Structure 1
Amino acid sequence: MTPPDHPREEARHAPRRRDTEDPRRNLILRALPDEEYERLRPALRPVTLQVRDQLYRRDGDIDAVYFPVDGVLSVVASVDGEPAVEVATVGYEGVSGLPVFLGAATSPHDCFCQVAGDALCLPTADLRRFLSDDGALHDLLHRYTQTMVVQLSQNVACNRLHSTEERCARWLLQTRDRVGANEFQLTQDFLGQMLGVRRGTVSLVAGLLQQAGLIRYSRGRITVVDPEHLHEAACECYDVVQAENRRVGLVPEPPDGATTGHSPGD
Structure 2
Amino acid sequence: MAKAFGPPNDHNILLASLSPDLRAVLAPHLELVRLEQRSALEYPQEKIERVTFPVDCVGSMVAVGDEGRRIEVGLFGFDGMSGTSIVMGVETSPLEVFVQVAGDGYTIDTEVFRGLLDQHDALELHFKRYIHCLNIQTTQTALSNGQSKLEERLARWLLMCHDRVSDDRMALTHDFLSIMLGVRRAGVTVGTHILEGKGLIRAGRGVITILDRDGLEAEARGSYGVAEKEYARLFGNPPTD
With structure 1 as the length reference, what TM-score do the two structures score? Answer: 0.82
2:230 equivalent to 1:244: yes
Q: Distance in 1 between matches of 2:122 and 2:171?
A: 35
What is the aligned partner in structure 2 of residue 40 from structure 1?
26
Out of 134, 154, 161, the residue aligned to residue 148 of structure 1 is 134
2:135 equivalent to 1:162: no
Q: Which amino acid in structure 2 is aligned with residue 198 of structure 1?
A: R
Shift of 1:189: 0.6
Q: Distance in 1 between matches of 2:15 and 2:167?
A: 20
Q: Which amino acid in structure 2 is aligned with residue 132 of structure 1?
A: D
Out of 105, 114, 117, the residue aligned to residue 91 of structure 2 is 105
Shift of 1:42: 2.2
Q: Which amino acid in structure 2 is aligned with residue 239 of structure 1?
A: G
Shift of 1:195: 0.5
8 Å CA contact 1:23, 1:120 repeated in 2: no
Q: Could you list the per-position Cα deviations for residues 4-36 of structure 1 after superposition, in whole angstroms to 9, with x for gaps in the alignment?
A: xxxxxxxxxxxxxxxxx7542x11011012233
2:102 equivalent to 1:90: no
8 Å CA contact 1:93, 1:250 repeated in 2: no
What is the aligned partner in structure 2 of residue 120 from structure 1?
106
Q: Which secondary structure state, in structure 1, belongs to the residue aligned with residue 67 of structure 2?
A: coil
What is the aligned partner in structure 2 of residue 67 from structure 1?
53
Equivalent residue pairs, number: 231
Q: Which runs of 5 or more structure 1 residues have no equivalent in the other structure?
A: 1-20, 254-266
2:62 equivalent to 1:76: yes
Which structure 1 residue ranges, 4+ long, deviate > 3 Å from structure 2? none
Q: Percent identity?
A: 37
Out of 166, 170, 191, the residue aligned to residue 184 of structure 1 is 170
Q: Distance in 1 between matches of 2:179 and 2:55?
A: 23
Q: Distance in 1 between matches of 2:225 and 2:187?
A: 25
8 Å CA contact 1:76, 1:86 repeated in 2: yes
Q: Which amino acid in structure 2 is aligned with residue 229 of structure 1?
A: G
What is the aligned partner in structure 1 of residue 195 from structure 2?
209
Q: Distance in 2 between matches of 1:69 and 1:216?
A: 26
Shift of 1:192: 1.1
What is the aligned partner in structure 2 of residue 15 from structure 1?
none
Q: Which amino acid in structure 2 is aligned with residue 238 of structure 1?
A: Y
Shift of 1:213: 1.5
